[in-house]
């Protein structure tokens, strides 16, 4: 029998979705997630998946995610990713991934300069990733967003490369923030690191009335 997936959720000062992410992971995998404080220098032994949760780490001072990218634990997260370990950055976590250069591009203030908080329809642009395979034949889903700095930007060459390499994972069907080419989520070249602005942990339990994000965690369970 395969061992249970071991997951770790990084907790920064200002994180507000860390417990939600941990609850979603435990519900779907059957195993509790380790909560790892930002000052730690190592991940738990044999960690399969690291989640960088949403929130406002360090109060979004300087730039969203900029200070978190320098936290002691991020050296271990980067090393985990470089070994091929799975990493999921959600909302603020996506911002941290771009600041550490584990993912290209940047997340800027939403077009219109307003905080966006609502359910959004998404196209599954690549259903053959470690983060989306459990969607099977589905082409669309719906997952809520909650961000003020969610507009994904990159130069045209980078955008072309992301498109050409199949690294755009989700797209907005009704763009809520002005993201380039309607991009809501991307993966790295190796396919083991994904950043997404929508919050799958908020759409992973029937009790919440939303289940469109469940397959993200199911996919990771299968991949691990």
Enzyme catalytic residues? 91, 199
The angle formed by the CA atoms of residues 15, 111 and 104, to the nearest 5 degrees, is 60
| Closest to 223 in 3D by CA, of 186, 201, 191 | 191
What is the C-alpha to C-alpha distance for residues 72 and 205, in angstroms, rounded to an integer? 33
- Give Cβ neighbours of residue 79 (< 8 Å, ≥ 6 apart): none
What is the C-alpha to C-alpha distance for residues 98 and 173, in angstroms, rounded to an integer? 23
What is the C-alpha to C-alpha distance for residues 136 and 128, in angstroms, rounded to an integer? 9
How many CB atoms neighbour CB 79 within 10 A? 12
- Give Cβ neighbours of residue 29 (< 8 Å, ≥ 6 apart): 4, 5, 7, 217, 221
What is the C-alpha to C-alpha distance for residues 111 and 176, in angstroms, rounded to an integer? 8
What is the C-alpha to C-alpha distance for residues 158 and 112, in angstroms, rounded to an integer? 24
Phi, psi of 76 (to 5 degrees): -70, -35
């Amino acid at each position: 029998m395969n061992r249970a997936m071991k997951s770790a959720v990084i907790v920064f000062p200002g994180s507000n979705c860390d417990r939600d992410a941990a609850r979603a992971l435990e519900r779907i995998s059957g195993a509790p997630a380790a909560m790892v404080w930002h000052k730690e220098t190592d991940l738990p032994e044999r960690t399969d998946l690291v989640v960088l949760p949403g929130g406002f780490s360090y109060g979004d001072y300087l730039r969203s995610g900029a200070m978190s990218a320098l936290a002691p634990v991020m050296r271990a997260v980067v090393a985990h990713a470089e070994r091929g370990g799975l990493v999921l950055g959600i909302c603020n976590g996506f911002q941290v991934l771009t600041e550490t250069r584990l993912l290209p591009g940047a997340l800027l203030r939403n077009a219109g300069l307003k905080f966006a908080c609502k359910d959004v329809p998404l196209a599954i642009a690549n259903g053959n990733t470690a983060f989306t395979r459990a969607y099977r034949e589905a082409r669309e889903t719906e997952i809520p967003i909650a961000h003020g700095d969610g507009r994904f930007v990159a130069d045209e060459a980078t955008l072309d490369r992301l498109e050409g390499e199949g690294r755009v994972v989700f797209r907005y069907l009704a763009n809520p923030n002005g993201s380039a080419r309607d991009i809501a989520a991307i993966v790295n070249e190796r396919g083991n690191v994904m950043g997404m602005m929508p919050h799958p942990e908020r759409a992973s339990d029937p009790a919440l009335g939303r289940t469109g994000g469940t397959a993200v965690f199911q996919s990771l369970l299968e991949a691990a």
